Structure 1
Amino acid sequence: MSEAKARKLASYSLNLCADYYQIHIEDEEFDDDFPDDWGNQLVTNKIAVAPGIVGVGTARNMTVPIQLDLLDRGSEDEFDSWDHVVEASLDVPSGKIAILGCTAYFPDATRISVKPGSYRVRIYSRGLAGLSKDGLEGDDYYHIVIWSQAYSPTSVLKRWSAS
């Protein structure tokens, strides 16, 4: 990564319903072909990946706050203020990224226009331990950062443990 500071190309503040404890970031033309281990990926690493889609594992099965930033490049960050940080690659041949809850009405999804190609998606999560006893209320917060980058394997940069 470059020493120059990454520049925001677009920024979105969203509140998305995380049905089944997940949010999807996908190529607009993703064909809904989920791998058999999708749920296990989400539980194990709070991220799931298949061609054309990245799933974000959330702490609540409710509406959650998300900040999404499209950057001109990746950035070197400190993870001290975050509970969990993961990243994965996402191919976007259509030139449009959609972000939505897994059961949301797809035509209403937020869309981001990008140059067709490969992107890196980094998900920062915090407040994971701050849920109410019934799991309906919480301080969980998700920051998703996307930038153009050639494919590289999925990575857990900081792992959160409930214990």
Structure 2
Amino acid sequence: MRGRDLCLMAAYHQLYIMDHAAVEIAAERWSTDDLVRKAVFGGDHLIVFTARAMDVPLRVEVLPEAPPLELTGWDHIVDGAFRAGAGSAIVMGCMDHEPDAARLPLAPGVYRARVSMAGLDSLSEDGLDGEDRYRVQLWPGPWQAVRVRRMHEPEAG
């Protein structure tokens, strides 16, 4: 397993993982379902919608095979797929400068992707502070439709 821990500015509540050769990501292609799922699997890109528009922790893991599904400790989990073709993926916040963004070596091919989120109910009243955290796991596998494994239900307050 290869893992990378990052702290990224989630401007507009968005983090991107995209193939190095990906073209521009257009917001108008997002559906209400994508927003509810808190993730967009767009072929050559993956967008994670975060709880805060601040610096947030993201762990990206590249695995040789499917990991076991861990429900404990995660508020929201969604699976999909991602295509890498250029030998690396870019990991960045949506307002980051792409040439300075983190690079993740990936052999060309299709990867299954699991996005897990925790601490979504830990935000301060102003939404600036919190203990939210995010993990993206990638492993080689066939293309699959998006599947929500656990849906976050905000605490009543």
TM range, smaller chain: over 0.9
Q: How far apart, in 2, do the equivalents of 1:41 and 1:111 lie?
A: 29
Counterpart Cα distance in 1 of 2:53 and 2:20 = 24
Structure 1 unmatched runs, 5+: 1-7
Cα distance in 2 for partners of 1:39, 1:135 equals: 24
Shift of 1:134: 0.4
Which of 62, 65, 77 is 2:69 aligned to? Answer: 77
Q: 89, 93, 96: which one pairs with 1:97?
A: 89
Q: TM-score, normalised by structure 1?
A: 0.90
Please name the residue that 1:160 is paired with: 152
Instruction: Give the Å deviation of 1:112.
Output: 1.2
User: Any stretches of 5+ residues in structure 2 without a counterpart?
Assistant: none
Match of 2:15 in 1: 23
Structure 2 match to 1:51: 43
CA contact (8 A) 1:35 1:50 kept: no
Segment drifting more, 28-37 vs 84-93: 28-37
In the superposition, the TM-score normalised over structure 2's length comes to 0.93
Whether the 8 Å CA contact 2:43–2:81 is kept in 1: the answer is no
Distance in 2 (alpha carbons) for counterparts of 1:58 and 1:18: 7
**Which SS does the other structure have where 1:122 is aligned?**
strand
Decide whether the 8 Å contact of 1:49 with 1:55 is kept in 2.
yes
State the identity as a percent. Answer: 30
